[in-house]
Structure 1
């Protein structure tokens, strides 16, 4: 009989449906079963509606007549469909046109109002108009308050409800748990008259979510029935604390495992830097016949990115291409990010162009990808396109934009974006933005400006900021500032190895081996362990790992032979090992050998032996590539005629035909800055001779005009090529070089001989100190103001 009821319901044969229902002994069960199987069978779209009619009530009480019943059911169905599509306006139009409305009608519209946050007032007004609200009406209104974080109103409403079912208690407990009020949730949980699986799950998940794993485990042990949701919550809690072993134990003890459980384990492995285990579990899951969902693939693709496993990432791409998951924006973004992090930017761009929908995260991933590959121009062009698409950037967008400026050496443009974040886009600056700008200024040699920026930060500097400053000090060999940055870094985080290692490297570069030994002794005393450097390369889906001075790899003899062969060819082409990066006090021959066996060189040599001839060599390193390796890889790319892509902790380096995509930024900056003094020093003596012959005022005027014209032409020269920029900087120096001799000549006309030295010293001292004294406050107000006043001061000094 029950099957007949369900069958008539599915066929929409409502007269037969009600007739057979009256003849059924257990009418309530049949009615409920029919609705659960097909909610539209009675026009109800909510499973809670089955609890409404008591066993003794007649089904015809719900709707007065068959023809009217059919009309109401149709309208209710339309309202529900519009609500599911978030088209509340159309749902309200259908609701207003209905002459007869049942409680189901009111509940359907109320569910639409309470579905999204911000509609709590409209939802309450609608609730107050319901002629006979039922328990589902009350539960929907309660959920609306909780969804809008109106906890106190929800609490009052809950206690004023005329009747509460188990769903009411569960809704209130879940809402309190979601908002971190676990003690209040616990109080309700202990006094609720009846508990079901949902009640236990809500409490256990709440404790895990807010870090109280001990309480979650204790409650889990008392649960009469341990559902997959509860097991998964406990596993998630252990993974969040990094206790992978206990998470694995719970996973093995689970009687039944579902997709959500596998997702939790895979994501936990990836987050705990055990991506290989995560990928292994993914294969096991697929072998068990469980189909992945977008959450699964996002975690797996992140694992591929961490391992730089391009082959597995491409396999997942093929799998996605044949399934509806290919249209999922989240999965598409994860795949795009994987290609970027594996060094295949062309494939990432193809995927980006062909994605049907792009959200903010998609744009951020693409901009960040180009930024870390050193192509700042395309990254900033994408940023402009994103703005044209009316997508509002967030703080992550600006981290990517500032990184793009940093890697491309666009100092002024980077400062412009940094200064415009809050003013033009309403984005608050975070420590990550300051870290980018400090690194930007430091790499450009503007260490004083970097210090001023750190001093004016609105929050306490963290380790990454002092780490960026310390790295810049090593590049520019500023020992005094390096010691300051290292002291600040170790004060902020005494247990970090980075501060010790970078300071030791600065000392080693300056051959202060006693200081190096002192730093290493300090590390030993404080039990600080340096992160060992290693590189890896994927050949035929197998990842090969190398460490400096590796003696383990089975093909090591062939690798050494290849490296020795390359070393001979490189030296014939002009390569000279940079012994500054050999960080041990040993003989020069031993230093050269230590540099030759660096992990990235071993990985590249292995790639040249085993990788297909036409394919690029992709090597990944967990630390930054040293300067000597960077120089050597350029020679290797030219000798072997191969593209070599190296990813370190900072960025991607694309080596091709003897050059790198980074353009040797730091060396180039130093060359550009020093080229100014070629012309400056050249004209010092000549300027004095001209000033004595034709007069200081004429020479000074000539110098100011010359320097001004050269300043205007410098950006044009920079766009042409580096040699043009160097020549223009030298030309600018010529105009500046005659200024000081001309000023001396002018001063000699009206200052007594005995006072000239004092006057010149006072002038040389007062101008820079005036500038530096105001620089910090100027920077706080605006970078443009600081730069403009500095230029005015330069002209004033010349005049």
Structure 2
């Protein structure tokens, strides 16, 4: 009655004043406990704190109750402040207060506070208590401090199942799954029987390590001890089998589950998509809604990511639209999954839309999303926007630096790639294997031979990165693109490992540019052995032989292709106008504006010839008369796409054309003239790199 009257005291005040009920001072311990508890029961945390501060000598139970209540309701700062005030007032504390304070500090990931609680418990001589020890292990685990957690564990005289479970899960959650499994095994050797929490927390270690054998052994233990009806254990088993690429076993566990939550559905979905069982995954996703299970953001991310993993880019975008229409907001994981779709489709418009979403929802601080944006813009042909995103990133890891270096390399900016590499080193970011591949690629596209060789030699000497086959191939490319073919061939012969198709392919490609027939034959012969069904190698050799007027040998190459059933990939070019992608093949007349395109090319051709353009008929491989050769060059897909883009500029100053094969020499020369006469920047991405045609010049300096 006294408590109720006190809480209702405010009703006797003038209602117009809306004054809060007064808080009595110097409350006794017994009454204070009841008042605080009553305030907490009605959710008045502020009043509970005020009452607590006026208790002359609060009982430890009151202290732990208030701290725990604050922590449970997400008010960890208030919980920690209560503990701090107790220390300042020199209130006598018991183990339950220390436990509550440890949980509050751990929940807020406040390592200094956890250490403070730990030190106080040691001074009070309470560290022999296993309950308190377990709370501190868990708190240190929340702070990712495995060493301190291990020290607490080692100091415990008695260790129960919670102690072992807390330590093993601490290792797993701190990215040390192998050590977590070792603790789990040690637990068994010490005669402590794992419970369902132990099993569900250690299975992610098997997932991370892709240790299927250990996962199966733990599954067997769970079955023998009646844990397979536990929802958390089963969900962890499904996830483990999914990560270990055992979709069949994941589905068996899933089907045997008496109750399934959305986490278990997500696990088996991931299992199907990760195992390239795309159709089964989509069927299961449809079944999920039929059974009344509500998908969450993780479900949609699993489906979108699964579509991307299985090359279903358009379906991934469709799923994103459905996700948003239902009312779910994409998060960082969604963005990281869908941005590669924009890169694959090379859709700058779509990429900008995603970027706007990222900006509006303040996801740009996410390192993975920002890095994906850097790559997307570079892949879609806008290196300036790529660099802008990179420069605005508040934090950059080695992946972000690698992405920017590779972006410059693919656009032929070798000097900028080198400068980025030097800045990266100056800022203390340690390069990895990918870094050197990107830098040397930039050197190859810019004919920076000495710089490339210097970078290659510095790998092991200065950075402790061992050069692998891809780095040796990159160095071959550096020599080859610069026309130093003999050095490239000698470098291949000195390689400490078997030369790869990339190395021989780099040499073969350069042989066409520099018209070295003998080395071309040697390179092609090795490539026919390494990858006998790659049509590009046969076509390259055929073109080299035709240009050298070696008709008989060229015919033999064509016959060899026919015998092996190898067909050349048809060349095509495409570009996006508005929201539609327009594709062109050689001699294409399917476009609605075909008449306008050919008429425009004819008129432009006259101006180009007056400006000095001469069709290079060496790139026409058919044995036809010169006039027909010149006419056939006008029908190449990249010229048609460029003409269509110019006709549909709609006020823009640049167009972006993409081609699945290498741009031919005549088209490269022609588009230079087109850019000068029309006054438009034409960006062409072929199978090797980006070409920026501006005012009659190309960024590759005609050395692609």
Give me the whole-angstrom Cα distance separating, in 2, the residues matched to 1:297 and 1:600. Answer: 32
After TM superposition, the score normalised by the length of structure 1 is 0.72
Q: Which residue of 1 aligns with 2:152?
A: 126
Q: Which residue of 2 aligns with 1:291?
A: 329
C-alpha change, 1:543 and 1:344, in structure 2 (3 Å) is same
Q: Which residue of 1 aligns with 2:398?
A: 360
Instruction: Report deviation, 1:116.
Output: 8.5
For residues 237-316 of structure 1, what are the structure 2 equivalents within 5 Å? 237-255=271-289, 256-316=294-354
Give me the whole-angstrom Cα distance separating, in 1, the residues matched to 2:272 and 2:527. Answer: 31
Q: Deviations over 1:416-475 (max 9, x none)?
A: 000101111111212222222111111122222222222232333222222112111111
Instruction: Report deviation, 1:68.
Output: 5.1
Q: Which residue of 2 aligns with 1:38?
A: 73
Contact 2:682/2:693, CA 8 A, preserved across alignment: yes
What's the secondary structure of 1:620's corresponding residue? strand
For residues 7-156 of structure 1, what are the structure 2 equivalents within 5 Å? 7=41, 11=45, 13=48, 38=73, 72=98, 75-77=101-103, 79-80=105-106, 84-85=109-110, 87=111, 91-98=114-121, 99=124, 100=126, 103=130, 105-111=132-138, 113-114=140-141, 119=146, 123-130=149-156, 133-144=159-170, 147-150=176-179, 151-156=181-186
Q: Deviations over 1:201-258 (max 9, x none)?
A: 3333333323333433444444444443444344434434544333322222223322
Q: Which residue of 1 aligns with 2:503?
A: 465
Equivalent pairs counted in the alignment come to 628
Instruction: Report deviation, 1:614.
Output: 3.7
Contact 1:43/1:76, CA 8 A, preserved across alignment: no
Contact 2:79/2:104, CA 8 A, preserved across alignment: no
Which one of 542, 556, 559 corresponds to residue 597 of structure 2? 559
Structure 1: give runs of 5+ residues left out of the alignment.
18-29, 46-64, 667-799
Instruction: Report deviation, 1:42.
Output: 14
Give me the whole-angstrom Cα distance separating, in 2, the residues matched to 1:336 and 1:352. Answer: 6
Give me the whole-angstrom Cα distance separating, in 1, the residues matched to 2:649 and 2:621. Answer: 31
Q: Which moved more, 1:383-392 or 1:526-535?
A: 526-535
Give me the whole-angstrom Cα distance separating, in 2, the residues matched to 1:478 and 1:269. Answer: 44
Q: Which residue of 1 aligns with 2:697?
A: 659
Give me the whole-angstrom Cα distance separating, in 2, the residues matched to 1:355 and 1:447. Answer: 41
Higher RCO (CA < 8 A, seq sep 6+): 1
Q: Deviations over 1:475-511 (max 9, x none)?
A: 1222222122122122112232222222222223223
Which one of 459, 478, 488 corresponds to residue 440 of structure 1? 478
Please state if 1:232 is matched with 2:266: yes
Contact 2:574/2:583, CA 8 A, preserved across alignment: yes
Q: Deviations over 1:492-536 (max 9, x none)?
A: 122322222222222232233443443333333323343332211
Give me the whole-angstrom Cα distance separating, in 1, the residues matched to 2:202 and 2:99. Answer: 31
Give me the whole-angstrom Cα distance separating, in 2, the residues matched to 1:159 and 1:143. Answer: 18
For residues 621-770 of structure 1, what are the structure 2 equivalents within 5 Å? 621-665=659-703
Give me the whole-angstrom Cα distance separating, in 2, the residues matched to 1:535 and 1:104. Answer: 69
Q: Deviations over 1:395-415 (max 9, x none)?
A: 111112111111111101100
Please state if 1:421 is matched with 2:455: no
Q: Deviations over 1:108-136 (max 9, x none)?
A: 4323555688946x544421323554433
Give me the whole-angstrom Cα distance separating, in 1, the residues matched to 2:265 and 2:490. Answer: 52
What's the secondary structure of 1:545's corresponding residue? strand
Q: Which residue of 2 aligns with 1:757?
A: none
Q: Deviations over 1:134-154 (max 9, x none)?
A: 433220123346635134553
Give me the whole-angstrom Cα distance separating, in 2, the residues matched to 1:116 and 1:69. Answer: 21
Contact 1:43/1:77, CA 8 A, preserved across alignment: no
C-alpha change, 1:629 and 1:394, in structure 2 (3 Å) is same
For residues 387-426 of structure 1, what are the structure 2 equivalents within 5 Å? 387-426=425-464
Give me the whole-angstrom Cα distance separating, in 2, the residues matched to 1:69 and 1:550. Answer: 82
For residues 599-610 of structure 1, what are the structure 2 equivalents within 5 Å? 599-610=637-648
C-alpha change, 1:573 and 1:586, in structure 2 (3 Å) is same
Please state if 1:511 is matched with 2:549: yes
Q: Which residue of 1 aligns with 2:250?
A: 216
Which one of 204, 210, 217 corresponds to residue 238 of structure 2? 204
Q: Which residue of 1 aligns with 2:12?
A: none
Q: Which residue of 2 aligns with 1:184?
A: 214
What's the secondary structure of 1:290's corresponding residue? coil
Instruction: Report deviation, 1:291.
Output: 0.7
C-alpha change, 1:274 and 1:508, in structure 2 (3 Å) is farther
Give me the whole-angstrom Cα distance separating, in 1, the residues matched to 2:553 and 2:143. Answer: 62
Contact 1:15/1:66, CA 8 A, preserved across alignment: no
Instruction: Report deviation, 1:159.
Output: 4.7
Give me the whole-angstrom Cα distance separating, in 1, the residues matched to 2:633 and 2:132. Answer: 77
Give me the whole-angstrom Cα distance separating, in 2, the residues matched to 1:91 and 1:447. Answer: 64
Which one of 630, 653, 656 corresponds to residue 618 of structure 1? 656
Which one of 354, 364, 376 corresponds to residue 338 of structure 1? 376
Give me the whole-angstrom Cα distance separating, in 1, the residues matched to 2:135 and 2:548. Answer: 75
Q: Deviations over 1:351-384 (max 9, x none)?
A: 2222222222222222222222222222222221
C-alpha change, 1:611 and 1:236, in structure 2 (3 Å) is farther
Of Structure 1 and Structure 2, the greater helix share is in 1
Structure 2: give runs of 5+ residues left out of the alignment.
1-36, 53-64, 81-90
C-alpha change, 1:73 and 1:139, in structure 2 (3 Å) is closer
C-alpha change, 1:176 and 1:268, in structure 2 (3 Å) is closer
Q: Which residue of 2 aligns with 1:586?
A: 624
Give me the whole-angstrom Cα distance separating, in 1, the residues matched to 2:536 and 2:606. Answer: 34
Q: Deviations over 1:508-567 (max 9, x none)?
A: 322334434433333333233433322111111222122222232222222111112222
Contact 1:75/1:94, CA 8 A, preserved across alignment: yes
C-alpha change, 1:609 and 1:325, in structure 2 (3 Å) is same
Q: Which moved more, 1:168-177 or 1:334-343?
A: 168-177
What's the secondary structure of 1:665's corresponding residue? coil
Q: Which residue of 2 aligns with 1:545?
A: 583
What's the secondary structure of 1:653's corresponding residue? strand
Q: Which residue of 2 aligns with 1:737?
A: none
Contact 1:343/1:645, CA 8 A, preserved across alignment: yes
